[in-house]
């Protein structure tokens, strides 16, 4: 409880980690607020069904609060309010304000406990944070949003936050790299998926670096573990480097 997990990908697609955490927390009986900025609800729903979880059922019983960023953008840009009288969580797109306060208020209200709730703990899941920068949000506004979410979800509600960001060390996108590096300094756990330096391989899809931030609260060095992985239809296989089926 109270942990901030950063999912980072470089030269590969780390969305399989998002699908894992979404199904994991729903099966664990947690209340989940999913800020989905990258794909549609149907996309996440199809993948979740393969993992044995129904997102539609989770929404109906109030366990999952889903923000479909693509639909919200269209509704806002073409003047259609999702719920009359309530501001869109992506209100900053209209130019009326440059901060992400409306998005934070959406998260806070979604995860605040109500009478009759029996969920084990609140979870905020964001896929992916880099999209907010592409929409025109300033790096400072994005970092402020995450800071307030950490105070609300991790500290006050004793919940967890999982955020995916894309990064490219050779990129000229300085704003995105600023956000990624700042989040790395504040994370309790970093799962960094990277593409293979040698290129494509059908038996090894990439490697994942697991960084446990012991230095965040203790005067110890971070614990780093590196595995390679292969994504299959319903799960992901992890193995030590050099021990894939292609080698053995």
Looking at the chain, how many residues does it have?
248
CA distance 206 to 194: 6
**What are the pLDDT digits (tens) for 168-202?**
877 778 899 999 999 999 999 999 999 988 888 88
**What are the pLDDT digits (tens) for 54-90?**
999 999 999 999 999 888 888 887 766 555 556 788 8
Residue showing tokens 């105070």: 151
Domains in the chain with CATH codes? 3-197 (3.40.50.300)
**What are the pLDDT digits (tens) for 212-244?**
988 777 777 889 999 999 998 888 999 888 776
Q: Are 106 and 67 in contact (CB under 8 A)?
A: yes
- Residue from 31, 82, 84 nearest 59 by CA: 31
The pair of structure tokens assigned to 140 is 């400072």
Compute the mean pLDDT over every residue in the chain, rounded to the nearest whole number. 88
Confirm whether pTM is higher than 0.75.
yes
**What are the pLDDT digits (tens) for 17-51?**
999 999 999 999 999 999 999 999 999 999 999 99
The pair of structure tokens assigned to 66 is 């889903």
């Amino acid at each position: 409880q109270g942990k901030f997990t950063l999912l980072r990908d470089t030269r590969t697609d780390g969305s399989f980690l998002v699908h894992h955490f979404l199904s994991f927390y729903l099966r664990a009986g947690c209340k989940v607020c999913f800020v989905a900025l990258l794909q549609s609800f149907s996309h996440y729903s199809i993948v979740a069904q393969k993992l044995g979880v129904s997102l539609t059922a989770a929404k109906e019983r109030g366990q999952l609060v889903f923000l479909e960023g693509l639909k919200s953008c269209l509704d806002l840009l073409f003047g259609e309010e999702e719920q009359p009288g309530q501001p869109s969580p992506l209100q900053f797109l209209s130019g009326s304000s440059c901060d992400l306060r409306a998005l934070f208020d959406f998260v806070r209200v979604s995860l605040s406990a109500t009478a009759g709730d029996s969920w084990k703990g609140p979870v905020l899941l964001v896929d992916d944070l880099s999209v907010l920068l592409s929409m025109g949000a300033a790096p400072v506004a994005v970092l402020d949003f995450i800071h307030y979410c950490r105070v609300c979800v991790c500290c006050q509600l004793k919940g967890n936050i999982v955020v995916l960001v894309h990064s490219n060390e050779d990129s000229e996108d300085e704003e995105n790299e600023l956000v990624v590096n700042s989040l790395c300094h504040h994370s309790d756990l970093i799962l960094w998926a990277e593409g293979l330096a040698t290129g494509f391989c059908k038996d090894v899809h990439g490697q994942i670096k697991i960084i446990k931030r012991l230095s965040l609260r203790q005067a110890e060095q971070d614990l780093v573990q590196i595995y390679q992985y292969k994504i299959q239809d319903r799960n992901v296989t992890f193995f030590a480097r050099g021990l894939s089926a292609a080698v053995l």
